[in-house]
Amino acid sequence: MPASLSESQREFLRYLVNGVGATVVHYGVLSFLIQVVGIPSAGLANFLAAIVGIAVSFLGSRYFVFRSHTASLGAQLWRFVALYAVFALIHAGVLYLWTDLLGYDFRIGFLLATGLQVLMSFAANKLLVFAR
C-alpha cells in the first residue's frame, strides 16, 4: 500500500479487500445453495451463506484488517458473532423482502443488502470488536 496513506486509510483499504473476499465467498455459497442444492428460499439460503462469509470476514478482520491480537480470540469472536448475527438477520430480511415477497432478482437484492451492511460494519468492527 502507498506509504503516503495514513494508517487509518490503509486499515480501511484492507477492510475493503477483506470485505470483497468475504462477499465473494458469501455470494458463491448463496449461488451454490440456490442453484445447485435447490434451496427454494433466497432468504434461508442467504442466511446460511452469511455464516460462511462471516467466518471468512472474522479471520480477515483479526489477522489482516485490524491486526488486533491483544484481546483474546474468544472475546473478539463473541463480539464479532453477535454483531454479525444482527447483520445476517438484516441481510436475510432485505433479501427475503426483495426476492421472496417482491419477486425481484436475488442478485440485485444481495447487492443492496451487502451495501447496507458495508455502511454499518467498518465502524462497528473498529469500535466494538477490534478496539485497541
Quick: pLDDT tens for 116-132: 888 888 889 988 898 86
Using DSSP's 3-state secondary structure scheme, residue 80 falls into: helix
- Average pLDDT of the residues in 104-113: 92
Report domain extents, the chain. Answer: 7-129
**Residue 25: predicted pLDDT:** 97
Q: Are 98 and 104 in contact (CB under 8 A)?
A: yes
Phi, psi of 105 (to 5 degrees): -60, 130
Reduced to 3 DSSP states, what percent helix, strand and coil does the chain have, rounded to the nearest 5?
A: 80, 0, 20
Average pLDDT over all residues of the chain: 90
Residue 105 is predicted with a pLDDT of 95
- Do 34 and 91 meet the contact criterion of CB atoms below 8 Å apart? no
Residue-level pLDDT at 70? 76
Looking at residue 88, its amino acid is: A
pLDDT, tens digit (0-9, with 9 covering 90-100), for 23-69: 999 999 999 999 999 999 998 999 899 889 989 999 999 999 988 66
Please, are residues 30 and 110 in contact by the beta-carbon 8 Å criterion?
A: yes
Q: What's residue 123's pLDDT? A: 86
Amino acid letter, 8: S
| pLDDT, position 7 | 85
Give the separation between CA 47 and CA 82, rounded to whole angstroms: 14
Residue 61 identity: S
What region, left, alpha or beta, does residue 67 occupy, with left being phi > 0 and alpha being psi -120 to 50 degrees?
A: left
